[in-house]
A = this chain, B = another copy of it.
Amino acid sequence: MTTPQSPRSDTRARIIDVALELFAEHGYEKTSLREIADRLGVTKAALYYHFKTKDDIVRGIVEKMAAPLDDAIAFGEGKDWSPELRDELLRRFAAGMGERAPLLRFFHENQPALRESAAGLAFKERMIKMITLLHGPEPTFRDKLRATVALTSMHSAMFLLKADLCGPGRESADSASVSADEAMEAALEVALEVAAHIEPPAH
């Protein structure tokens, strides 16, 4: 069903890339199909050859970019919960999403739009699945929250990265020189810290 018989055309893939970039940067609502089309050098109508609707582009984005998340979920599902599993899940999530930062940004910063979108909800389902895998069985609300917060640390790291650039004269010696990769590394560490507090039932 998801495996196409042919490369599905280059344009389709380019639309997805450009759309995600713009959605992450300017937001879903503020990004018009014309902008996407213009940046690709095609007409709006061309987009409609590849996608039935604007929301369908989101579906395309999710389908293409959520693979690492699905892999992590597949890896965790069925296995018994353990601190090691928990940490491995976070590592896989970080590895997969670190390179797909725009997707996370899009997800976190466009909830209102995504809430009304089938594709958006599908991605949210995955995030929630990931959360449940992280906190394991019989979680307290606190545990659920720790799992959730751990998953958001990546996005927070990006927020910080952008914020430091704009803020006037607030560049402490070290943080100004942090690269995106280093930021993601730090995000994983902090995520592990948070998750470490998750207390499994003492069976």
Contact = CB atoms under 8 A, between A and B. Distances in A.
Contacts of A141: 160, 174-175, 178, 182-183, 186
Tallying the copies of this chain within the complex gives 4
Contact residues on A (Cβ < 8 Å of other chain), bracket: 35 or more
Interface in A17-41: 25-30
Contacts of A113: 27, 29-30
A145 B170 contact: no
Nearest to A178: B141
B187 A138 contact: no
Interface string A121-139: 0001100100110000011
Given A30-B113, A108-B108, A153 B145 contact: yes
Interface stretch (A1-9, A70-78, A189-197): A189-197
Contacts of A160: 131, 141, 144-145, 148
Contacts of A140: 174-175
Nearest to A140: B174
A104 to B, nearest CB: 12
A26 B124 CA distance: 17
A197 to B, nearest CB: 5
A112 B27 contact: yes
A142 B124 CA distance: 27
A187 B139 contact: no
A152 B186 CA distance: 17
A156 B135 CA distance: 15
